[in-house]
Structure formats: C-alpha cells, structure tokens
Amino acid sequence: MAKSVLSDARFHSEEAAFEYVEAQLWPNGPVCPHCATAGEKIGRLKGKTTRHGLYKCYACRKPFTVRIGTIFEDSHLPLRLWLQAIHLLCASKKGISTRQLQRMLGCGMKTAWHLGHRIRHAMDPGKASPLGGAGKTVEADETELTKSRKSKRPAGHRRGDNMRVMSLVERGGAIRSMTLDHSAMGVIYKHVHKDSRLVTDKAAHYKFPPVASHESVDHSKFEWARDDVHTNTLEGFFSIFKRGLIGVYQHMDQKHLDRYLAEFDFRQNTRAKLGIDDAQREAIAVQGMKGKRLTYRASGSAEA
C-alpha cells in the first residue's frame, strides 16, 4: 500500500513543517526579511529554548523566521496546522467548509474561519495585468448564484438581488473570476488585453467590446458552439463552483465572495489535467503566502 500523504512529517512535527515552508519560500537558502541579506551572513540559532526555525542576520543583527512577511506572521497557530489546512483546501475540488476544517483540525470555529479565509486570500494571484493578447482567445461568461430552494429568502427578495459572478479564461492559460457589481463590459475593459479575440454568448451584453475581434454564440437560438466559438470552459467551471456553493459552503457572504472565487480559480489554474498533483498544488499555495499579509488586513476581515 502506498504511504498516506497525511502521514508526512510536515503535518505532525513543527520542525518538519518549518523545513517544508523554508524550502518553498527560500529555495536558495534563508533570506533576511529585514535587509534581504542571504548566504554566509545568516546564522541558524540553535538551543533548547530557541524557537523553531530561528535565524539571525549578521548584517542587520536582527533575528527572524520564515513566518515574517507571510500570511503566517500574525498567527500563533503551529505551522503544521496551517499546512494541514492548506493541504485540505488544495486537495478538495469543491472546497472545504469552516465546520469541516474545525472538526478535522480540532480547533475553534473562529480559528477555522480565519485559516480558511487567509488561505483563500493567499491563493489569489492578483489581477493587475490583463488576460489575452495578440493571437490569443479569451472566453467571457457570467452566472447568477441563486439560493437553494430550501433556504428561506428574505422578504422583498428580487431576482436582481442574487449575487452575480463573471469569469474570464485565456484559452490555454489562466482563469479569473470576480463578483459582477456593474456591467460585464467594465470587466472586459479592465481585464482583457485589447489585442485579444473575445468569445462570449449573449452578444447583446457585449456591444463593441474594446478587443481585436469578438464572436459569440446565441443560446436563445439554441446555438451552443460553432467551431471553437463557445464558452464551455467557463460553463464547466461554474458548474464546479455551484456544486461547491450548494454542497460544501451552503452560504457565501457577498463580501467574501471574491475570496471563494480566488480559491476555485486557484484549483482550476493548478488542476490535475495540467500535470499538477495535490502535493505540488500545496507547494504552489505555500509559495503564494509571501507578501500577502497587509493586503489581507486592508480587505477587511469579519465574521461570516
């Protein structure tokens, strides 16, 4: 029988957890987070009372660990618990609920909630540069998240109150999803490179998009695909996201929707079909923990 991944030392020993995270964030050895010094001027502090993974920089004379400047910095939780939570989120195609995390990690509800959302935040690669470009095709599509029929709607709920999501995918490249607050065209302006070829359904939603060319299929005329003009990649993605919403998360607060989308985008962009296994996906997620600390605060945390 193959060895269970859950028996790996990084999930059980704090020392192994530090070694694992250091290998991901410092592939060429420790780097001082205060002055960027690396190499011989970094010393390892060892001793019975010394904290795990403690180093000293002999250039700026400050001590540090790999947690500084990452999402782990403000946390008092053992690193091995973080790695367990990251692994669970990376390996679960439809996500993992706060309650499930709480039960599996044996931690409190609030801790599980914060862990989940910080990891989702770290999975977001950022949305600064547009998708597509010359010779590239970008699919765009929208979807509405309807509440399950079992859940009670608040009085005065209208169809327009449903949360809306818009996703873009560069064919052969990355997917990018976001809450749709305003018009789909606003998203195209901001997130699609002007030299791209754009493929959508519902042509009426996308009048004169600022791209090199635009083709669409008309679902209202029972046309779903014409050669490579289709939005099937996104239809498939929406279907996984909705199964996660109904089966796992049950409720997503609008103000946290973008973080859930980042989680599903992350798994889609590192999916098994691209030759990435659960362990590699986890390593990529850990690499993303760097530099995410301040922006998480700025985005505002609150109880769900």
Interactions with Zn ion, residue window 7-36 (CB under 5 A): 32, 34-35
**Amino acid making up residue 44:** R
Shortest Cβ 291–Zn ion spacing (Å): 17
Residue 60 lies near Zn ion (rule: CB under 5 A): yes
Instruction: Identify which of residues 32 and 199 has a Cβ nearer to Zn ion in the complex.
Output: 32
Which residue has 């279907």 as its token pair? 239
Residue 37 lies near Zn ion (rule: CB under 5 A): yes
Q: Considering only 54-62, 111-119, 176-184, 233-241, which stretch makes contact with Zn ion by CB under 5 A?
A: 54-62
Sign of the Cα pseudo-torsion (238, 244, 250, 256, in order): negative
Instruction: Identify which of residues 57 and 112 has a Cβ nearer to Zn ion in the complex.
Output: 57
Instruction: Identify which of residues 51 and 58 has a Cβ nearer to Zn ion in the complex.
Output: 58
Residue 192 lies near Zn ion (rule: CB under 5 A): no
**Other Cβ atoms within 10 Å of 99 Cβ, number:** 13
Instruction: Identify which of residues 41 and 226 has a Cβ nearer to Zn ion in the complex.
Output: 41
**Other Cβ atoms within 10 Å of 195 Cβ, number:** 14
Nearest to 259 by CA among 162, 144, 123, 73: 123
Q: Considering only 58-66, 154-162, 213-221, 252-260, which stretch makes contact with Zn ion by CB under 5 A?
A: 58-66
Residue 38 lies near Zn ion (rule: CB under 5 A): no
Tokens of 9: 């030392």
Q: Considering only 59-67, 160-168, 214-222, 261-269, which stretch makes contact with Zn ion by CB under 5 A?
A: 59-67
Instruction: Identify which of residues 202 and 290 has a Cβ nearer to Zn ion in the complex.
Output: 290
Tally of helices (H runs) and strands (E runs) in the chain: 9, 8
Q: Detail the DSSP E strand segments found in the chain.
A: 42-44, 55-57, 63-64, 137-145, 163-170, 175-179, 197-201, 213-217
Instruction: Identify which of residues 3 and 61 has a Cβ nearer to Zn ion in the complex.
Output: 61
Shortest Cβ 33–Zn ion spacing (Å): 8
**Size of the residue set binding Zn ion (CB under 5 A):** 7
CA–CA gap between residue 12 and residue 194 (Å, rounded):
49
In Å, how far from its chain's centre is CA 62?
Answer: 33
| Residue 223 DSSP SS3 | coil
Name which position in 57, 83, 175, 192 contacts Zn ion (CB under 5 A): 57
Residue 68 lies near Zn ion (rule: CB under 5 A): no
Binding site residues, Zn ion, CB under 5 A: 32, 34-35, 37, 57, 59-60
